């Protein structure tokens, strides 16, 4: 079903004017007399005329639509980014199309394709984990502006919005060191991932700058950073002769697994073992003790992504920028790590 909708033509007919005049009157064109404008606008209101943006877009070869591809909308952090995207897109006058890739590379390609077909003006994406083949993304880059956020890849020459992963991680580890911790374990991902690697770099740098030797037993890689893996890896760490006195899980979810397991074994948090997570998810204040973690400002990431994308869309030159924008994070110290005044 589709009921009839008022068009310029209908207005023109009823007013005995040409379509052009009606169009101009509604767009407040200086050529049109006030009298005519008034007549047109009145009738338009009366008949509840709404311009068909689809036709407008088609005419102007500009749709004011932006496509967004992300792995999973139900992840709180993604949803938070999405919120920023929606808010800023509205400000800038763009409509947002969402699709989920569910970390499926094939689907990701299809969505990219569909977005193109649908004539979006630009694409915002967080690339799927297993994206090996970036050829189709590269091809598209020539045709349409793309901005990457969160899950990015330096191999794709376009603007990328990320969090200051390395520094955030560095600061988290320094915080632990300042509270007297010396045997700091890290739980990271085994497969290569942009953020996991950079967080690991921060870990290494913090130890190095504080003259703490690296103990390979304290570096744990696992295939995903789920709560379950957090649990398993904690048991592994507790089995060590020389136990850690702090655990940095590069994900809140894993960190919560860590806390739950430590509690089960009656280990005091943070006195015996401190715990730090990453991302300041809602869970981090539900768990007891409350989790010390790194806050990633999702809305700001989304907002920034839209801003850069719109800038590229509206730029007249066909340039491809490839800046990397780092959004600042904040370490939020809660009960799962010791307080310290010596922390600079």
The footprint of a second copy (CB under 8 A) covers 1-3, 5, 48, 50-55, 57-58, 61-63, 72-74, 76, 79-80, 82-83, 86-87, 90, 95-100, 113-114, 116-119, 121, 139, 142-145, 256, 260, 263, 282-283, 286-288, 312-313, 315-319
Give min distance, CB of 315 to a second copy, in A.
6
CA pair distance 342, 344, nearest whole angstrom = 6
CA pair distance 302, 84, nearest whole angstrom = 4
Give min distance, CB of 96 to DNA, in A.
22
Q: Which of residues 35-54 bind DNA (CB under 7 A)?
A: 35-36, 51-52
Which residues neighbour 158 within 8 Å (Cβ) at sequence distance 6 or greater? 141, 145, 146, 147, 148, 320, 321, 322
Q: Which does 287 bind (CB under 5 to 8 A by kind): DNA, a second copy, none?
A: a second copy
Binding window for DNA (CB under 7 A); candidates: 57-65, 152-160, 267-275, 311-319: 57-65
- Candidates 61, 242, 316, 342; binder of DNA (CB under 7 A) is 61
Q: Which does 33 bind (CB under 5 to 8 A by kind): a second copy, DNA, none?
A: DNA
CA pair distance 309, 163, nearest whole angstrom = 17
H-run or E-run covering 19? helix 19-26
For a second copy, the closer of residues 190 and 314 by Cβ is 314
Q: Which does 118 bind (CB under 5 to 8 A by kind): a second copy, DNA, none?
A: a second copy
Check residue 341 and give left, alpha or beta (phi > 0: left; psi -120 to 50: alpha). Answer: alpha
- Candidates 13, 20, 154, 324; binder of DNA (CB under 7 A) is 20
First to last CA, the chain: 66
The single residue listed with the structure tokens 């763009």 is 94
What's the Cα-to-Cα distance from 341 to each of 182, 211, 218, 219, rounded to whole Å?
Answer: 17, 21, 27, 28
Instruction: Provide the token pair at 182.
Output: 């010396």
For a second copy, the closer of residues 176 and 255 by Cβ is 255
For DNA, the closer of residues 20 and 324 by Cβ is 20
Q: Which does 172 bind (CB under 5 to 8 A by kind): a second copy, DNA, none?
A: none
CA pair distance 36, 54, nearest whole angstrom = 26
Which stretches of the chain bind DNA, using CB under 7 A? 5, 7-9, 16-21, 23-24, 26-27, 31-36, 51-52, 55-56, 58-61
């Amino acid at each position: 079903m589709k009921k009839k909708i008022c068009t310029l033509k209908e207005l023109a007919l009823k007013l005995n004017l040409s379509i052009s005049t009606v169009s101009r009157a509604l767009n407040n064109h200086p050529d049109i007399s006030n009298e005519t404008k008034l007549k047109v606008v009145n009738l338009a209101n009366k008949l509840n005329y709404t311009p068909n943006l689809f036709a407008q877009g088609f005419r102007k070869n500009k749709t004011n639509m932006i496509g967004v591809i992300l792995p999973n909308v139900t992840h709180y952090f993604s949803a938070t980014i999405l919120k920023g995207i929606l808010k800023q897109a509205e400000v800038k006058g763009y409509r947002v199309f969402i699709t989920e890739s569910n970390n499926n590379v094939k689907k990701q390609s299809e969505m990219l394709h569909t977005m193109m077909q649908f004539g979006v003006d630009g694409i915002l994406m967080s690339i799927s984990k297993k994206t090996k083949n970036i050829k189709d993304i590269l091809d598209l880059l020539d045709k349409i502006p793309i901005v990457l956020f969160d899950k990015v890849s330096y191999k794709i020459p376009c603007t990328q919005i990320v969090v200051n992963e390395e520094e955030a991680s560095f600061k988290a580890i320094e915080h632990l060191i300042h509270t007297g911790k010396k045997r700091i374990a890290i739980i990271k991902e085994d497969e290569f991932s942009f953020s996991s690697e950079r967080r690991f770099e921060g870990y290494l740098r913090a130890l190095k700058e504080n003259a703490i030797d690296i103990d390979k037993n304290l570096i744990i890689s696992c295939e995903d950073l789920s709560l379950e893996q957090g649990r398993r890896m904690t048991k592994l760490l507790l089995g060590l002769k020389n136990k850690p006195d702090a655990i940095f899980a590069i994900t809140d979810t894993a960190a919560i697994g860590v806390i739950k397991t430590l509690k089960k074994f009656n280990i005091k948090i943070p006195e015996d073992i401190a715990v730090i997570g990453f991302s300041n998810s809602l869970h981090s204040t539900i768990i007891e003790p409350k989790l010390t973690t790194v806050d990633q400002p999702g809305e700001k990431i989304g907002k920034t992504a839209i801003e850069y994308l719109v800038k590229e869309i509206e730029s007249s030159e066909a340039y491809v920028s490839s800046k990397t924008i780092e959004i600042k994070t904040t370490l939020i110290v809660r009960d799962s790590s010791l307080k310290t005044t010596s922390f600079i």
